[in-house]
Every structure is written in structure tokens, then in C-alpha cells.
Structure 1
């Protein structure tokens, strides 16, 4: 019920933000934004909320990754342990938000998270947007290769003409781009996908920090890590990212890190613990439990998106028919703008942009809103085409019988239009079910997101994808049968 309330409230706010002038957004991003950042990211504000929200990627062992324990998926690793200890030192609970690595700083800047603990290097470019703690674990940059190729590669020059993989948005990608100009770069959102690509010979090497490289090599005797001696500048290692102008939180984070460095907690406790979890994960065989939550959220998103998308489509189809110039213009602007922008951009805008207005908006709710709004634009045009397909003589006959315009539309035009547009609506609903996979970019644990977790947990590339394809087919085939049943019912009426 709480999610439903969020949906109704946020739909109204979304439309007002979509129509807001760009200048207003610019104003909000200056002094007001800085003040908001300071207040929301202060230690006092976090203690008042009783929790600290930590952004992470959960695909980067031994720093942060997912395992299954007693049938339950959980986040583990060096960064997870550090986040929990930071929360304990602040006297609050730790809440982890998992998303793609290249979305983490956006989430921090838009106040979706309080800190980012995700094996992030404190580069000068990133420091322009966020503040960093002191480095909590130092690292070199290695390249992981297949052990069978170890005689081929020793230096960066040896990779000329070869394909090199790196995580999107990472320091490793920037280093490879700057210092391996003779190589072909391939970037993916998840490092586990890069390792799968390496093992299947889609790439010849994967650039990553030495700690991560050692963890992979220790758990896979077919891999080898080499140090090609990248030239680096600035602080080397990983640090906690904090929103700008949050000195209190930076100081609190540094206190926790200093305590761990003094007690050698990272090398003595955290890395061995992460290695134990990695070994445990490598022994896991079953993948079915991961799919259960994914299918549930996929169906939840689809059902709500179909419902709200149809309502929005009907509303804006009526507004477009309106003789009121304002209503007509709003409908045209909505339909053309939504159909002219990618759904992925809309999903990220709702989550990160509208999240500026409403804090703590759940990712699944943001996904439902974005997909519903996208669908509404297409449904509006489907309904309009269906109404236009009804012979105009039907309207004239109804009006000659004394029926009002509203009665004519309700009892004469719409029933016939619905019969005409049913196949097109069915195609739109099936598309919604498949497009729900896009919300995985903001960390919604739908089917595609869970599939990626399975790949991360098992290092199997093709099998989880094949199973996901089969599940999507079963869902779409079932929906098609239901739509065909509805079509037969309409034809009989």
C-alpha cells in the first residue's frame, strides 16, 4: 500500500517537473543545492534519520559482492564491512543501495545516498563533484589475462591490436584509454561480465585494481594477473566518496578508517573474510532462488505500468481531442516529448531528478512511474487512432438520437474503438513486460538484474541469460494467451 501511495503522489509531481523551465532547474543547482547537500549529508541529519544510506555496486569482489547464505542473498565484502562499521560508529543503521558503478556519483550528487563505498579511486576529476575520505586501501592497477596467454603479455605495448576490457565509469577505463591507445577498448557495467568475456576470449585482458585481480586469480586457476606498470597520478587506492560540503561526515569516515588502519583490520580481518565468501560463492550451483524475486518484481512493474499507462493514455487522448488550446497543447507536448526520448533516460531522470523533490523514493516506484509515463504516450496515440477509425456516421447517428457528446463517446465510440485497438494495446503491454528490464540500471531487482547477479555469483555467462530468455518467453506467451481470450470476448459482445 505504501508503494501505491507513492505512485499517486509522484505522478502529479512528475508532470510539474517535466514542464518546469530549465532555468528553474539551473537555479536549484547552485546555492540552494549546496545548502541541501550540506543539511542532508551532515552527521546530525544522518543520526536524526537513524540510518546512513550507502551506495555500492555489489559486483566487485573482494570489495563488494553478493552471496547466498541459507537461501538468502546478502551483500558482503571489504566495503560492506566498512560501511557497517561506519554506521555503527555513528550509532545508526546501514542501508545499502545497489546500482551500476557509473550511476553511483549521480546518486550521491542527487542525495539518493549519503556516501559511496565501492572501491572508488579519488581521482581529480571526481573530486570536482564530490569530496573523498582518506584512502583506506592502497592498490596498483593490474591486467587480468588467461593463464594460457601469459607468455604473450608483459607490458602495455604487448596489448596493441588486442581487445582490453574495463568497467564503465572507472579509473581503470580512463587509464586504459589514455595509455593503451593501440588497444581496442571494451567497457561493460559489471566486472563479472568482463571476466566472463575474458574466459570466452571476447577480450584479451581486463584492467582492474591489484586487490581485485588477486582475488579473481586466487579463485580461478585459469587466470593470471600481471602488473604492466600504468603511470598514475594523485592518490592511489580506494576511498569513500561523500557529497560536497559535508566536512563532518568526511571527518567521521576518516576516524573509522584510521581505526581500521591502526589495527590492520583490512588485511587481518576483512580481506580473509571476503576471500572465504568468494570461495563459498564459487561452490554454489543453484540459480533458481535468484529468479524468484526477479520474476515477482517484473510482474509487479508490468501490472502497475499497464494500469497507469492505460489511464494516462486515455487521459491524454481525451486532452488531445479537447478544443481547449491549453489542454490540447499540453497533451501534444507530453506525447511528442515522451515518444522522442529514450526510456532509459526517462527512468534515470525520474529516479535521480524527481528524487531531488522527494527523498527516499524507492527505485521500484521510480521505475513504475517512468515506464507508465512512457507507455501512456504510446497508448494515447493508439486510442486516438482507434477512435478515428470509427465511422463518423456513428457519431452523427448517436447525436441525432439525442445522445450527448459524452454519452456518444462512452457508449458508441469507445466500445468500437477498443475492439479496433485491442491488438495494438496487446503489443504495447507485451513490450512493457520486456522493457521492465531497463529499470535494472537504477538497482531494481527485476529479472534482468537478478540474472546479472547470477552471472556474478557463478561466473557463468550464457546459461543465466538463456534461462532469463525462457522465463521472459513464458511470461509473454501467457500474456498473449490472455489478450487473445479478451479479444474473443470483445468480438462476441
Structure 2
């Protein structure tokens, strides 16, 4: 009961820290819905535009797997974001006189990132809907299009309209208008939602789904770059508005600046006359040269970030694990209860949820928290809980007589623990620690959900750039195997050394 009470108090403390910003957002929202005179009054106190100019950067959130809106290509071995929405983002940043910073993450994480101010705006093919307008403010629309089905060309005689998918499974990206359309306008059809569009295309090519519903321009782009796929108009009713930039509630001055940019872009028709043709050019040119081997730097970068996350998390996790193991073994009731709460809570919740909570939850309080650091913190905390139990079991496996013998020789408790108990315990728990290290190496892939450029994140970039789904995954599997196998050999070497030493 004491453990649960302390855990409850921790939640109350976190909520009290987050509540003021939530209340402020609600106040800004109510001000935005009043008369125009009050809105003008609010704009005078709104510092969103001034804040962006002061920091000198505009952080734009997007899911860069959506050609020709936004996708990735490579130039001189470096990732480059291209697409007509990327061009729009660059123009917006240029008009503001600041540097553009693109934050690439899953589409269904963008709204959370905006609400917690991890990003300044969303420019990612986001349709204006009444539900979204409750949580964010939208600029004027700058583009609109129909929804198309992407299917395997071998199924072109089987699927020719939306009703032909009845009883079948159709995929759509999580959080998109198309996902809502399947649930609402395609009765009898199962909606298969995934975070990445590239993953849905893989599912389509492996016949896990009958079709994928997506924006017309994107469907045509995939069909144009893969001879085995084709796209056709779904002709489903579109009840949502066009595509617009999304802003944090109350950021009226920044929204007004965006509307000015959109107005100038539309007057010159830059999207249709210049930016979409540019995006098509990138897609055609890279279709000729985008072999998997030419993206080796992506995999190298992914390995680098994966090893950084793993090494730092292992060190921090071992320190935390040792600390909380000793606290749980302590006779002090407060320390023991805190350790139990920490261990049971971290082991009882998924690591992905913990990663997103640290980045979006704690990150709402510490807004400068980088995604890489948030990922390392979350992985370290999770690992510390498991390492604590491993170390505790190792210490308790040592007979009490060992401690008594050491004390009889005049050793203090600290010296007995350091020179007698811990070396023997480490020998006993080494295989379990090694298993935790290997698991940690593989679980580091979960930080890709918040945009950290580790191996899985880079694999998704390669999938988006090459329009190939299975081969990049196979290469990633081989890389993980090489790393884990090498690590297991190293751990086995030290395990044999310890057997000879003790």
C-alpha cells in the first residue's frame, strides 16, 4: 500500500507540473474563438512569431515518407528532405528570416509533438478536420486532392472501386484522413493502420492487405516508381477540408505569418508550376540510381547511433540497477519502498510508452530536451529496473557464510561487499547481464518512434527513398545479427575468464 501511495503521489506531482501549460493552452483556445476585436487584442500579447525570430529556427514536424509531399533523397551521402511541402517550409522559414529545422517522425506523433511544443508547426499533408481544430489552429489551406487506392497490378481486374474491398483488409497510415474514411465509408472492410506508409506498401506487396488508401499524388508517385503497383481514384466522399499548416493553439501571430506566405505562394502558383515538378524530378532521377548499396552511409549512421544509445544506456542502467538493487535489499523501509515502486513500475510498462512519455511528457516541461537524450534516458531507466533485479538475485545467491567469514577476518561491511560478495555475484549474474545487454541493443530500435536516427530509423529512410521494402529490412536484420553475435562472443570470452579467476 505504501508503494502504491508513493506512486500515486508521483503522478500527482507530474500532473501539477503539466497542468499549468494545459490550462494556458485552453485559455488561448477560448480567446481565439471570441470576436475579432478580442482576437486582435490577443495577438498583441501572443509572442509566437517573436519567439521563432528570437531563437532563429523554425522547427517543422513532418513524416517524410509521403512523396511528392515530403520524402528523403541523398546528396553527397547525406540525407536531404525534398518534396513540395519541404519547399513550402523553406519558403516560410525564409520569409521569417530564420533557419529551417525538419523534425521527421511518425505521422500519428506529430500532433502530440506540436501540443508539447517539440515542434513549431506541422507541414505534413495534414487535412483540416473539426476534430483536429479542437486541439490545434490551422492556417489557410494550400493544397487539396482526392484519395486513391494503391493496389498490386496483378489485382487490377479484382479491385476497381471501393465496394470491391468489402470483406478485405485495406491499409492506411495511422492518424490520417484516409484511415477515418475506411472506418466510416467502407463498411465490411478491415482497416489496417501502420505508422509508416512504406510499411503499408510492403504489406501490399506481400499481399497482407488488398490495397492502401492514400492521397492521390502519393499513390501516383508510388505507382510511377514501381511497375508492379497501380493507383486509381477511390471516389469516396471527402468531408474534410484541404491541407494546411497546423500550429499550437494561440500561436496567432505565427499563423498569420504563415497565411502571408501561403498567399504569395498561391498567387505565383509555385506548388503546381515549380515545386511538384521538382519533386517529380527527384523521384525520376533517383529511380535510376537508388540501389541499396548506394545508401550504405545511412546504415553506417544508424549503427553509430544504435551503439551510442546502447553503450550509454548500459553504463547508466548498470549504475541505476546497482543503486536500486542495494536500496531494495536495504532495511530502510523508505529506500526499500522507493526501489520496489521504481522496479515494478518500469518493468510493468512498455518501453515504447516510456520513451514517448519522457520525450513528450517530460519534454513538455523541459522543452529543450533532445530526442536522442530523451531516448537514452528512457532506455537507461528501463534497463536499470531489470538490472536491479538481476544484481539483487546475484547478491542473494551468495551464502551468508561468505559475509560472516569476511567479517571474521576483520573486514568491514563495505570491504566484504566489495571484495567478497560482489565478485562472486558478478560471476553468477554475468550471463543474465549479457542477455540484458543484447536485448538492450535490439530494443534501441524503439527510439525511432521519436525521430532518433538509429538503425531502424535509417532503414525507414532507405525504404522511402528507394521504394523497396523488404531488402532494406533484410540488410538491417543482418546488421543486428552481426552486432549481437559479436557482442555475445565478447561476453562469452569474459565469462570464461571469470570462471578461471574464481
- TM-score per shorter chain, which class? over 0.9
Normalized against structure 2, the TM-score is what?
A: 0.91
CA distance in 2, matches of 1:224, 1:386: 59
For the structure 1 residues 18 and 104, does the alpha-carbon distance in structure 2 shift closer, same or farther, using more than 3 Å as the test?
Answer: farther
The 8 Å contact of residues 40 and 46 in structure 1, kept in 2 or not, is answered as no
Match of 1:246 in 2: 251
For the structure 1 residues 246 and 171, does the alpha-carbon distance in structure 2 shift closer, same or farther, using more than 3 Å as the test?
Answer: same
Per-residue deviation, residues 142-170 of structure 1 (Å, max 9, x unmatched) = 21223343333333211112221110111
Match of 1:9 in 2: none
CA distance in 2, matches of 1:112, 1:361: 9
Equivalent runs, 1:7-406 vs 2, <5 Å: 21=13, 23-25=15-17, 27-32=19-24, 42-235=48-241, 237-283=242-288, 284-285=290-291, 286=293, 287-406=295-414
For the structure 1 residues 95 and 36, does the alpha-carbon distance in structure 2 shift closer, same or farther, using more than 3 Å as the test?
Answer: farther
Q: 1:209: Cα distance to partner?
A: 1.4
SS in 2 for 1:119: coil
CA distance in 2, matches of 1:450, 1:263: 36
The 8 Å contact of residues 303 and 454 in structure 2, kept in 1 or not, is answered as yes
The 8 Å contact of residues 174 and 194 in structure 2, kept in 1 or not, is answered as yes
The 8 Å contact of residues 41 and 243 in structure 1, kept in 2 or not, is answered as no
CA distance in 1, matches of 2:270, 2:213: 26
Match of 1:469 among 464, 477, 481: 477
The 8 Å contact of residues 121 and 239 in structure 1, kept in 2 or not, is answered as yes
Q: How many residues align?
A: 478
Q: 1:183: Cα distance to partner?
A: 1.5
For the structure 1 residues 317 and 343, does the alpha-carbon distance in structure 2 shift closer, same or farther, using more than 3 Å as the test?
Answer: same
CA distance in 2, matches of 1:71, 1:43: 34
Q: 1:491: Cα distance to partner?
A: 2.0
CA distance in 2, matches of 1:469, 1:218: 29
CA distance in 1, matches of 2:234, 2:427: 66
Unaligned runs of 5+ in 2: 1-6, 30-42
The 8 Å contact of residues 40 and 111 in structure 1, kept in 2 or not, is answered as no
Q: 1:25: Cα distance to partner?
A: 4.7
Q: 1:450: Cα distance to partner?
A: 1.1
Unaligned runs of 5+ in 1: 1-14
CA distance in 1, matches of 2:221, 2:474: 28
Match of 1:418 in 2: 426
Match of 1:434 in 2: 442
Q: 1:456: Cα distance to partner?
A: 1.3
CA distance in 2, matches of 1:41, 1:351: 24
For the structure 1 residues 18 and 170, does the alpha-carbon distance in structure 2 shift closer, same or farther, using more than 3 Å as the test?
Answer: farther
CA distance in 2, matches of 1:36, 1:427: 50
Of 87-96 and 160-169, deviating more is 160-169
SS in 1 for 2:446: helix
Q: 1:409: Cα distance to partner?
A: 1.2
SS in 1 for 2:245: strand
SS in 1 for 2:124: strand
CA distance in 1, matches of 2:190, 2:22: 39
Of 278-287 and 439-448, deviating more is 278-287
CA distance in 2, matches of 1:447, 1:391: 44
Per-residue deviation, residues 179-238 of structure 1 (Å, max 9, x unmatched) = 112122211111122223223332221111122223233333443322232122241x21
Of 336-345 and 274-283, deviating more is 274-283
Normalized against structure 1, the TM-score is what?
A: 0.93
